[in-house]
Amino acid sequence: MNMALKLAELGRGYTSPNPLVGAVVVKDGNVVGSGYHRAAGGPHAEICAIEEAGLKARGATLYVTLEPCNHVGRTPPCTEAILRSGIKRVVIGTRDPNPDVKGGGVEFLREHGIEVITGILEKDVKRQNEFFIKYVTTKQPFVILKSALTLDGSIATSTGDSKWISNSASREFVHRLRHAVDAVMVGIGTIRRDDPRLTTRLKDVDSSDPIRIILDTRLTISPDSKVLNLDSDSDTIIVTGSNIDRERLKRLKRPGIDFMTAAVKDGLIELSPLMSILGKRGITSLLIEGGSRVNGSAISAGIVDKIILFYAPRILGGNDGFPLFTGKGVLNIRDTIRVSDIRVHQFEDDLMIEGYLKGGHQQA
């Protein structure tokens, strides 16, 4: 199953809205076939592994991270291919959580005389597919809030300067995150201050850009902003309130730029209903790379599933920098937001803290 998990990871960034799935066929203690789901609409992991095993699959054991499908989608049911192959035993990481799929893969296989074992390395499989699980069970994207901070908790100096708090190794990891998610979101303040491209830039990966979402309540974005003038394989969505300059909207329209109207409260886009809108557009995962105001709005709205914070060995040395969040916090420590399942990673001299705010994959 560990081998199947590693294979599944090779599909990260390419399979959305489908899950990451890896499969291994074992006979007489030897691996005779392996595969993973490479892209949505392509062959499933089980099919790849069975085809590689060929006749050696007869009487073998199939290890697969996710319950084999028993329905007709863009590809035929994997359960029928398993039966035809002659496999006698199937070991599954976790059951398919998708309520829109009738499923029954486990039951179908058992009814046809195949031994089935489930729940192997289940926590690891669910963590790997936390985007998919959140989306299919709630129809909303899995949300990661990422930021880089000094050791004394600032994301920028009083002038707004934040380049570069974190080191190049940390920034490369962020680009891998962008490659993995469907969309990245920032506020208009970040666009004005940093003029980012919000694209994926990796040297060793055939990567794709995430959809770029800009929160701009009054539509004040400059037409010269880099994010509006990209040669990219994904679109930019500007989210505005309803009270905007329509002539300005017409001037900003161009190929690859989309506009979306959302509810506004206290001058800010309401993020909770926005998540439902993004979910309807098929966005399964969202990376927030905003400033203090967007971060504060996200945490206040309760939309964040996971935090990734990079702490650099730097000290601002004052209280006039930009904090991670702005807005009203709680009054009592007992009411603070608990972060669970903490993991700590090191990128050269940066420390990365990763954790879940609402149970994340464990809740699914």
320 within 8 A of 311, measured Cβ to Cβ: no
Q: In whole angstroms, give the CA distance from residue 8 to residue 14.
A: 11
Any catalytic annotation for residue 247? no
**Quick one: which of 17, 51, 55 has its CA closest to 36?**
51
**β-strand 211-215 against 183-187: which pairing, if any?**
parallel
- Tokens standing for residue 278: 């993004």
Q: Is 246 exposed, middle or buried (0-12, 13-18, 19+ CB in 10 A)?
A: exposed
DSSP string over 53-118? HGGGGTT-EEEEEEPPP-S-SSS--HHHHHHHHT--EEEEEE----TTS---HHHHHHHTT-EEE-
Q: In whole angstroms, give the CA distance from residue 129 to residue 134.
A: 9
List 261's β-bridge partners, or say none: 240
List 147's β-bridge partners, or say none: 309
Neighbour count for residue 3 (Cβ, 10 Å): 14
Residue with tokens 């060929």: 54
- Tokens standing for residue 168: 């190049």
For residues 121, 206, 31, 96, the Cα torsion angle rounded to the nearest 10 degrees is 40
- Tokens standing for residue 189: 């303040």
CB-facing half-sphere around the CA of 338: CA atoms within 13 A: 7
Which residue among the candidates 9, 46, 80, 115 is catalytic per the annotation? Answer: 46
**β-strand 350-356 against 211-215: which pairing, if any?**
unpaired
227 within 8 A of 256, measured Cβ to Cβ: no
Residues catalogued as catalytic = 46
